Chains A and B, each alone.
Chain A
Amino acid sequence: MADTSIRGLRIAITGGTSGLGLALVRQLIDAGAEVAFIARGRSGVERVCRERPTAHGIVGDVSEKNEIHPIALQVLGALGGLDVLVNNASSLGPVPLAPLADTECEDLERALATNVLGPFRLTKALLGSLAATARDGGAPLVVNISSDAAVTPYAGWGAYGASKAALAHLSRIWDAELVAEGIRVLSIDPGDMDTPLHELAVPDADRSSLKPPDQAATEIVELIAARAARAPEPEAAR
């Protein structure tokens, strides 16, 4: 069911070489999507490309404004257009986690650059393509990966939680504003997952209590499939 809706979708995923992003790349490729993924490290990108040779690997840092268009250019060059953008790349802020009073300004700036400015800028650069998909009868979707730390004020998670709260609210406003263009923007909390990012944050966590990223990825793939299956006639194409 999911597979038939996913087949042929053009999907870009940031942070595609570990954790949830990697699980999404694998599942979406296996379901027949055209996938471009972005990550900072070339060796990680090449490793994933060896594992899934049909994936398009792009080396880039979404937290840098001047890398946004080089990334967008390669995404669109590889896929020829875009149905789904998953803003998944995340920065924890200070490592190890620190209370806000002990958080360096630069650590907060890095969390905001990766978790808020990056998704904002990349979505903005790719909005023209998403709108073109809607005009062409598709059902474009932006998925922003959030966290329960965006809602609950966990001590020690200030930089991360504040940045994810900003991303979640940005998503809601963007979703409301882009209705006329036929583009949905959703913020998803995948739950506490057993990922490299979580291990950085909570090195001594009981891993058996954490959700496998594969399971979270499956839920997001189902969401993407449900959206694609709907593919409503956008108002923009009236």
Chain B
Amino acid sequence: MIPAASAVQRPRGARLMVVDASGHVMHQRRVDFPGLVHRGDLVIANDAATLPASLSGIHLATGSPIELRLAGRRSLLLQHMDTFTAVAFGAGDFRTPTESRPLPPPFSVGDSLALGPLRAVVRTILEHPRLIEVRFDGSAQEIWEGLARHGRPIQYSYLADPLAMWDTWTTIASRPVAFEAPSAGFLLDWRLIDRIRARGATFATLTHAAGISSTGDARLDAMLPLAEAYEIPARTATAIDAVRQRDGRIIAVGTTVVRALEDAAASDGRVRVGCAVATLRIGELTRLRVVDALVTGHHEPGTSHYELLRAFQDDSILRRAIAEAERHAYRTHEFGDSLFIVHPRTASGTITTISDIRRDPLFGRASDSGPTAGHSG
């Protein structure tokens, strides 16, 4: 698989690999995603907008150039806007793959950082020389203005051109709290959301401060994902309860949605409303209490994204899916093709909907095709 090298959120010809509840692998067009949604399902996306979280500047004690990538905050409450977890890099920019970026100078607590118009102080050295907690000086308004003027989206060395903020906000982007784009949501546009509703499904959102996907530092990458703040609106929790009662499925758009919902889930599958911080790491042994299916990007084994897929399907099935993706040259990473994966506990209604997909014109509003669109649950 190769990374998608241009920052187009919905490229023509984007593909969608489907791994259904029984582990069968099928190949679809991504624009046909609504055809995989059943009447009564609930599709939940992450509506976080993406901060320009990359800040270049100087470590004042040594005069060394650094790049700070904001990576986490204590909560989504407005008053927690001044203190962030951050990953620091030494000299260089995104043209250098992160694996080859030098370490930043050694930090001490109390060190000052000059980041364009922003000033920050190192508050804590965390479990890795690149990982620190910083606090910005100034009022919330000054911090927002500094980020808006000086911050750049976190860049990816596999892309041909630098990302602009236009490239990183999803169609539904709302509160700017994500550090990297919740990129599974790139597949959504308003027409597609309309087609999901036309299937008789519900669309809802939560807000999850998606953190850094990769740092290029093996020891640090092994710590990912870091703690991530999120908020679940009351109406989304209500919609989850309603879907459960009618045996519909919960379909997560993006791994961040899985993490937030499962972190907020009680043992009976009800989710806690409001602000919290996700510390749950989802993997092979995680029993999913809320989410039945996931649409996400393609990611290589070893990444935290891939680990999360192991909660949905067996390794043997995932290996087959990876082999299929290699054979069909699926494109990976943020702007690549998509993967729809269904947990085996859900009813085997997936196959019957494939014929509906073929009937949908490419950009037409999905016809609600009656009984075949439903499923017996």
Q: Which residues in A have some Cβ–Cβ distance to B below 8 Å? A: 56, 58-59, 65-66, 68-74, 76-78, 80-81, 125, 127-129, 131-132, 135-137, 177, 180-181, 236-238
Q: Which residues in B have some Cβ–Cβ distance to A below 8 Å? A: 47, 49, 51-52, 78, 81, 140-141, 144-145, 147-149, 164-166, 169-176, 190, 194, 197, 202-205, 233, 235
Given contacts A127-B190, A136-B235, 14 further A-B pairs with CB under 8 A are A69-B164, A69-B165, A69-B166, A70-B149, A71-B148, A74-B148, A76-B174, A76-B175, A77-B81, A77-B176, A81-B174, A125-B169, A127-B171, A135-B233
When distances are taken between beta carbons in the complex, the residues of chain A under 8 Å from B190 are 127, 177, 181
When distances are taken between beta carbons in the complex, the residues of chain B under 8 Å from A69 are 52, 148, 164-166, 169
Please give the distance in Å from A6's CB to the nearest CB on chain B. 21
Known: A69-B169, A77-B81, A125-B169. A236 touches B203 (CB 8 A): yes
Please give the distance in Å from B195's CB to the nearest CB on chain A. 11
Known: A69-B165, A80-B175, A135-B204. A128 touches B49 (CB 8 A): yes
Contact among B140, B149, B173, B174 with A77 in the assembled complex (CB-CB below 8 Å) = B140
When distances are taken between beta carbons in the complex, the residues of chain B under 8 Å from A137 are 235
When distances are taken between beta carbons in the complex, the residues of chain B under 8 Å from A76 are 49, 174-176
A132–B205 touching, CB < 8 Å: yes
Query: A24 to B52, alpha carbons, bound, how many Å?
Result: 31
Query: A131 to B47, alpha carbons, bound, how many Å?
Result: 10
A128–B235 touching, CB < 8 Å: no
B141–A78 touching, CB < 8 Å: yes
When distances are taken between beta carbons in the complex, the residues of chain A under 8 Å from B233 are 135-136
When distances are taken between beta carbons in the complex, the residues of chain B under 8 Å from A132 are 47, 172, 174-175, 205
B205–A135 touching, CB < 8 Å: yes
B170–A128 touching, CB < 8 Å: yes
Q: Which residue from chain B places its CB closest to the CB of A65 in the assembled complex?
A: B166
Query: A58 to B202, alpha carbons, bound, how many Å?
Result: 36
Contact among B140, B174, B197 with A128 in the assembled complex (CB-CB below 8 Å) = B174
When distances are taken between beta carbons in the complex, the residues of chain A under 8 Å from B140 are 77-78
Q: Which residue from chain A places its CB closest to the CB of B48 in the assembled complex?
A: A128
Query: A58 to B144, alpha carbons, bound, how many Å?
Result: 10
Contact among A77, A128, A180, A238 with B47 in the assembled complex (CB-CB below 8 Å) = A128
B172–A128 touching, CB < 8 Å: yes
When distances are taken between beta carbons in the complex, the residues of chain A under 8 Å from B235 are 135-137, 237
B147–A73 touching, CB < 8 Å: yes
Q: Which residue from chain B places its CB closest to the CB of A238 in the assembled complex?
A: B202
Known: A70-B148, A74-B145, A136-B233. A128 touches B81 (CB 8 A): no
When distances are taken between beta carbons in the complex, the residues of chain A under 8 Å from B148 are 69-71, 73-74, 77
Please give the distance in Å from A10's CB to the nearest CB on chain B. 12
Query: Which of A73, A127, A137: most chain B CB closer than 10 A?
Result: A73
B172–A73 touching, CB < 8 Å: no
Please give the distance in Å from B177's CB to the nearest CB on chain A. 9
When distances are taken between beta carbons in the complex, the residues of chain A under 8 Å from B174 are 76, 81, 128-129, 131-132
Query: Which of B170, B174, B176, B202: most chain A CB closer than 10 A?
Result: B174
Q: Which residue from chain A places its CB closest to the CB of B145 in the assembled complex?
A: A74
Q: Which residue from chain A places its CB closest to the CB of B175 in the assembled complex?
A: A76
User: Which 10 pairs from chain A and chain B are nearest by CB?
Assistant: A69-B165, A77-B144, A70-B148, A132-B174, A128-B173, A128-B174, A129-B174, A128-B172, A73-B148, A74-B144
Query: A72 to B202, alpha carbons, bound, how many Å?
Result: 28
Query: A131 to B194, alpha carbons, bound, how many Å?
Result: 13
Query: A137 to B148, alpha carbons, bound, how many Å?
Result: 29
When distances are taken between beta carbons in the complex, the residues of chain B under 8 Å from A237 are 235
Please give the distance in Å from A183's CB to the nearest CB on chain B. 10
Please give the distance in Å from A56's CB to the nearest CB on chain B. 6
Query: A125 to B165, alpha carbons, bound, how many Å?
Result: 10
Q: Which residue from chain A places its CB closest to the CB of B81 in the assembled complex?
A: A77
Query: A238 to B40, alpha carbons, bound, how many Å?
Result: 12
Please give the distance in Å from B182's CB to the nearest CB on chain A. 12
When distances are taken between beta carbons in the complex, the residues of chain A under 8 Å from B47 are 128, 132
B81–A180 touching, CB < 8 Å: no
Query: A81 to B197, alpha carbons, bound, how many Å?
Result: 24
A73–B176 touching, CB < 8 Å: yes
Q: Which residue from chain A places its CB closest to the CB of B202 in the assembled complex?
A: A238
Query: A80 to B203, alpha carbons, bound, how many Å?
Result: 22
When distances are taken between beta carbons in the complex, the residues of chain B under 8 Å from A131 are 172, 174
Please give the distance in Å from A148's CB to the nearest CB on chain B. 32
A-B contact pairs, 19 of them (CB 8 A): A59-B145, A69-B165, A73-B52, A73-B176, A74-B141, A74-B145, A74-B148, A76-B175, A77-B81, A78-B141, A80-B78, A128-B47, A128-B174, A129-B173, A131-B174, A135-B205, A177-B190, A180-B197, A238-B202
Known: A132-B205, A180-B197, A237-B235. A66 touches B171 (CB 8 A): no
When distances are taken between beta carbons in the complex, the residues of chain B under 8 Å from A74 are 141, 144-145, 148
Please give the distance in Å from B55's CB to the nearest CB on chain A. 14
Q: Which residue from chain B places its CB closest to the CB of A180 in the assembled complex?
A: B194
Known: A128-B47, A132-B47, A136-B233. A73 touches B144 (CB 8 A): yes
When distances are taken between beta carbons in the complex, the residues of chain B under 8 Å from A71 are 148
Query: A13 to B355, alpha carbons, bound, how many Å?
Result: 49
Q: Which residue from chain B places its CB closest to the CB of A69 in the assembled complex?
A: B165
Please give the distance in Å from B163's CB to the nearest CB on chain A. 11
When distances are taken between beta carbons in the complex, the residues of chain B under 8 Å from A177 are 190
B175–A81 touching, CB < 8 Å: yes
